[in-house]
């Protein structure tokens, strides 16, 4: 858009009026720089003001005015010559009004100007030249910059945070004290970021609404929290007003105060008041004459008087029994000296006349000059504690009658009581033990980490297990320890009763028995392993003797050879099963779970011949994975299914089903069959080693298979049993860990 003056001048140029001497004199006399160009931008005319502004006399028909200077945008960015306003106008494009530029003269000096370019067209509308008015705004810009510097100096010296925020929350300006308040450094590049990023999450909507209100032209105040760039949370109070920006938009100008310390003081005062009112202890203030000046809710509950009834009364007249009147003057005398009264146990009278045991802690209160003007008194009801102490004394008499070492501990494991049996067992006297941490005094060795034991005690109210204790003489003993927790009305543990029985000798015998069993097991394993080779020789040579010389010996000799071979075969089976029995405990704890489906399939593959021979039908539910050895699980399935095949009924097809269900953190397996069943009196005996209900002539076997099952299940702390009726089959059930 052209200004009115530019349009008029354009008309004169188009009509040739610029050659008119009167008009030329008028243009030359104008203080505004004016120049004209041809269609290529070459100068065709310039007035005296243009020469003064540019600092040089250009050549007509040769120079292009836009290349006469170096031109910059207000932010200091160089402006390419083909993008200067006159060059844009000559291309036929519209040039926005109000553009401000900086130009550098040949001598290096700079000036601010506003261009007003326009184009000159011929009758056909083709651009044949241009005209430009350059408004020198240097003085105005210097005044603005000076005002800006004054503003900056003012806002930089104020201790408050001064900021300008755009309607969308963009931070346009913030002074140095403000940057310090938000914990920003030079590297953070705060200006241009969104101010909502540092507003506390719960305050962001409130601040957004507030900012929109200010940018719409209202004034206001707001308290909000910021979370600075270093994570520190600060409480801020801001007073804001709208500010019209240079581009015509309204922005948010605010001065913010850091009120964090004030808020902390208010919170501390509020918290202190809340603590005093919610305390279980009676908290009372009085002056140095003993007159009550404050009275909290717990004082009302404890003594029965309301605050209105108590304030203004003396402690001596209101609370102190007649036989204890001498206590209050003594307490006041100590307070006047600046002395504190700690945990003074006494008796006070309630409104209803009843007496209660209390513990008093009284502190002098001083003013700003350090002068004592009153006292703060905390009174705690210790009636229950007194009753407990009396009960403990009675319990101590009973504890001394016990033959077990008994100690009573508080919630922090400090020893409260120590009976005579404990003195005898450990060698520490009662006086030496009281107040000590029990597991430090006895250097206790726990079977599991102490926090885990505490968790069980808190959950169940009791715990038992074996501990190792050190005696005063240095010896260490094993004890069977039982703990019982005593709780208060809130469920917190206040005392622990610990009973310890010396089982050192029993543990020694058990260890010797364990080693003996281990040696016996090793012997059995070695013996059964070593017996296999001679038994195999006896079996082989008896077969050779029967084959090669059976026709040359008499009937009695052949009978003897048969007995030898049969006995060797049974002995080989017995040795093999006994070897399997001893190997059960030789596996380490499993490091991974076993798939019971794979274990069952392995056992069925080993029994394939026997299953096919009797045409048995075997079925199974989908089976789980569990933390046992796959070989152990396969042995259990193989022995139980083999047992069902062996003791099948001759009257019906053998049906065997393997089922499972989850129960109380275990897997409960069931192997059921429709065989001959078991009489009730034999249900427990069949799991014993070498226990058989039938002769070897009736049913083959060694009587070890079910004993192996029992031992495997026992190894995983499980259980195995049978449910059966003669003639109606059997169900063998066993539990293993899930």
Could you tell me if 417 and 438 are in contact, meaning their C-beta atoms sit under 8 angstroms apart?
no
List the Cα angle 150/113/141 in 5-degree steps. 5
For domain 4-139, say whether CATH 3.10.290.10 is its number: no
Does 37 score more than 80 pLDDT? yes
So what's the pLDDT on residue 684? 72
97-104 long-range contacts (CB < 8 A, ≥24 apart) are 97/1, 97/3, 100/74, 100/137, 100/141, 101/71, 101/72, 101/73, 101/74, 102/71, 102/72, 102/73, 102/74, 102/76, 103/54, 103/69, 103/70, 103/71, 103/72, 104/69, 104/70, 104/71, 104/72
Summarised one tens digit per residue, pLDDT across range 435-459 is: 999 999 999 999 999 999 999 998 8
pLDDT-based confidence at residue 481 (cuts at 50, 70, 90) = very high
Three-class SS state of 31: coil
534 vs 371, more confident? 371
The CATH number of the domain covering residues in 400-494? 3.30.450.20
So what's the pLDDT on residue 435? 92
pLDDT-based confidence at residue 696 (cuts at 50, 70, 90) = very low
pTM of the complete model: 0.32
What average pLDDT does this structure show over 271-278?
A: 60
Does 270 score more than 70 pLDDT? no
So what's the pLDDT on residue 647? 86
- In CATH terms, the fold of domain 279-385 is Beta-Lactamase (3.30.450)
**Residue 498 Cα distances to 123, 401, 486, 505, 667, angstroms:** 117, 15, 11, 21, 36
> Parallel, antiparallel, or unpaired: how do β-strands 655-663 and 617-620 relate?
parallel
Summarised one tens digit per residue, pLDDT across range 130-154 is: 898 888 888 888 877 776 677 777 7
So what's the pLDDT on residue 319? 93
Does 703 score more than 70 pLDDT? no
So what's the pLDDT on residue 526? 58
Of all helices (H) and strands (E), which one includes residue 177? helix 176-181
Backbone angles phi and psi of 537, in degrees to 5: -65, -45
Does 89 score more than 60 pLDDT? yes
pLDDT-based confidence at residue 671 (cuts at 50, 70, 90) = very high
Does 600 score more than 60 pLDDT? yes
Summarised one tens digit per residue, pLDDT across range 380-406 is: 888 887 787 777 667 656 666 677 888
536 vs 129, more confident? 129
**Residue 680 Cα distances to 662, 668, 686, angstroms:** 27, 22, 11
So what's the pLDDT on residue 306? 92
- In CATH terms, the fold of domain 158-264 is Beta-Lactamase (3.30.450)
The mean pLDDT value of the chain amounts to 82
3-state secondary structure 248-314: CCEEEEEEEEECHHHHHHHHHHHHHHHHHHHCCCEEEEEECCCEEEEECHHHHHHHCCCHHHHCCCE
What average pLDDT does this structure show over 663-685?
A: 86
pLDDT-based confidence at residue 478 (cuts at 50, 70, 90) = very high
Distance between CA atoms of 38 and 182, rounded to whole angstroms?
57
Backbone angles phi and psi of 284, in degrees to 5: -130, 140
Mean pLDDT is lowest, of 75-89, 216-230, 430-444, 693-707, for 693-707
Distance between CA atoms of 326 and 343, rounded to whole angstroms?
18
What average pLDDT does this structure show over 220-236?
A: 85
- Within 13 Å and on the Cβ side, how many CA atoms surround 545? 17
Q: Please choose, from the candidates 57, 55, 166, 66, the residue with its C-alpha nearest in 3D space to the C-alpha of residue 117.
A: 66
For domain 590-737, say whether CATH 3.30.565.10 is its number: yes
Summarised one tens digit per residue, pLDDT across range 90-101 is: 888 888 777 888
Summarised one tens digit per residue, pLDDT across range 100-109 is: 888 888 888 8
Which tokens belong to 708?
């192996």
pLDDT-based confidence at residue 280 (cuts at 50, 70, 90) = confident
562 vs 650, more confident? 650
Summarised one tens digit per residue, pLDDT across range 169-213 is: 888 888 888 888 888 876 677 788 888 888 888 888 999 999 899
What average pLDDT does this structure show over 575-585?
A: 58
Does 69 score more than 60 pLDDT? yes
User: 158-264 and 590-737: same fold?
Assistant: no
Does 65 score more than 70 pLDDT? yes
Q: Taking the C-alpha atoms of 181, 183, 186 and 191 in order, what is their torsion angle to the nearest 10 degrees?
A: -60
What average pLDDT does this structure show over 282-290?
A: 88
Does 17 score more than 50 pLDDT? no
What is the residue extent of each domain of the chain? 4-139, 158-264, 279-385, 400-494, 508-582, 590-737
Q: Burial letters for 701-721: b for 16+ Cβ neighbours within 10 Å, e otherwise?
A: bbbbbbbbbbbbbebbebebe
Could you tell me if 37 and 20 are in contact, meaning their C-beta atoms sit under 8 angstroms apart?
no
pLDDT-based confidence at residue 657 (cuts at 50, 70, 90) = very high
Report helix, strand and coil shares of the chain as percent, to nearest 5: 40, 30, 30
Most confident of 55-69, 309-323, 524-538: 309-323
């Amino acid at each position: 858009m052209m200004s009115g003056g530019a349009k008029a001048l354009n008309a004169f140029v188009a009509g040739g009026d610029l050659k008119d001497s009167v008009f030329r004199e008028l243009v030359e006399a104008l203080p505004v720089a004016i120049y004209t160009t041809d269609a290529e931008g070459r100068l065709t005319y310039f007035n005296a003001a243009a020469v003064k502004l540019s600092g040089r006399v250009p050549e007509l028909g040769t120079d292009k005015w836009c290349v006469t200077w170096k031109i910059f945008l207000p932010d200091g960015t160089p402006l390419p010559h083909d993008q200067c306003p006159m060059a844009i106008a000559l291309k036929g494009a519209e040039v926005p009004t109000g553009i401000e530029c900086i130009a550098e003269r040949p001598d290096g000096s700079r000036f601010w100007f506003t261009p007003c370019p326009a184009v000159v067209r011929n009758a056909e509308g083709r651009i044949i030249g241009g005209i430009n008015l350059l408004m020198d705004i240097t003085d105005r810009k210097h005044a603005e910059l000076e005002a800006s510097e004054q503003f900056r100096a003012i806002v930089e010296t104020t201790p408050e945070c001064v900021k300008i925020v755009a309607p969308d929350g963009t931070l346009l300006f913030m002074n140095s004290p403000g940057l310090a308040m938000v914990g920003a450094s030079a590297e953070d590049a705060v200006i241009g970021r969104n101010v909502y990023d540092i507003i506390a999450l719960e305050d962001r909507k409130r601040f957004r609404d507030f900012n929109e209100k200010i940018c719409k032209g209202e004034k206001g105040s707001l308290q909000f929290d910021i979370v600075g760039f270093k994570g520190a949370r600060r409480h801020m109070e801001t007073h804001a007003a709208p500010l019209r920006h240079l581009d015509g938009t309204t922005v948010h100008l605010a001065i913010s105060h850091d009120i964090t310390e004030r808020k902390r003081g208010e919170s501390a005062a509020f918290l202190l008041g809340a603590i005093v009112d919610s305390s279980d202890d009676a908290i009372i203030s009085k002056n140095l004459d003993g007159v009550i000046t404050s009275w909290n809710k717990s004082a009302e509950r404890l003594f029965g008087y309301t605050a209105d009834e108590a304030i203004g009364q003396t402690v001596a007249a209101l609370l102190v029994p007649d036989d204890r009147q001498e206590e209050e003057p003594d307490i006041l005398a100590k307070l006047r000296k600046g002395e504190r009264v700690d945990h003074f146990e006494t008796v006070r009278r309630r409104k209803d006349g009843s007496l209660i045991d209390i513990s008093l802690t009284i502190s002098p209160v001083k003013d700003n000059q350090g002068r004592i003007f009153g006292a703060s008194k905390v009174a705690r009801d210790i009636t229950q504690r007194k009753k407990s102490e009396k009960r403990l004394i009675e319990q101590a008499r009973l504890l001394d009658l016990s033959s077990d070492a008994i100690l009573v501990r508080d919630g922090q494991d400090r020893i409260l009581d120590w009976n005579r049996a404990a003195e005898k067992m450990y060698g520490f006297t009662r006086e030496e033990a009281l107040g000590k941490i029990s597991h430090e005094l006895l250097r206790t060795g726990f079977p599991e980490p102490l926090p885990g034991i505490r968790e069980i005690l808190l959950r169940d109210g009791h715990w038992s297990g074996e501990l190792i204790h050190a005696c005063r003489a240095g010896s260490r003993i094993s004890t069977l320890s039982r703990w019982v927790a005593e709780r208060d009305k809130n469920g917190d543990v206040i005392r622990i009763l610990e009973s310890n029985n010396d089982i050192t000798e029993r543990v020694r015998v058990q260890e010797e028995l364990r080693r003996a069993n281990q040696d016996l097991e090793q012997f059995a394993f070695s013996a059964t392993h070593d017996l296999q080779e001679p038994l195999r020789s006896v079996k082989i040579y008896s077969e050779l003797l029967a084959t090669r010389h059976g026709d040359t010996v008499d009937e009695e000799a052949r009978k003897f050879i048969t007995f030898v071979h049969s006995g060797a075969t049974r002995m080989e089976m017995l040795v093999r099963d006994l070897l399997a029995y001893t190997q059960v405990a030789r596996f380490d704890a499993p490091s991974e779970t076993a798939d019971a489906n794979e274990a069952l399939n392995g056992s069925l593959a080993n029994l394939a011949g026997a299953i096919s021979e009797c045409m048995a039908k075997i079925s199974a539910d989908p089976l789980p994975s569990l933390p046992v050895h796959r070989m152990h699980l396969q042995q259990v399935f193989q022995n139980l299914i083999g047992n069902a095949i062996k003791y099948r009924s001759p009257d019906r097809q053998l049906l065997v089903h393997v089922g499972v269900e989850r129960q109380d953190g275990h897997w409960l397996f069931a192997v059921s069959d429709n065989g001959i069943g078991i009489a009730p009196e034999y249900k427990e005996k069949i799991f014993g080693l070498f226990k058989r209900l039938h002769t070897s002539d009736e049913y083959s076997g060694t009587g070890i298979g079910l004993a192996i099952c029992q031992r495997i299940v026992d190894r995983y702390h499980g259980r195995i049993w049978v449910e059966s009726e003669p003639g109606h089959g059997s169900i063998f059930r066993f539990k293993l860990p899930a």
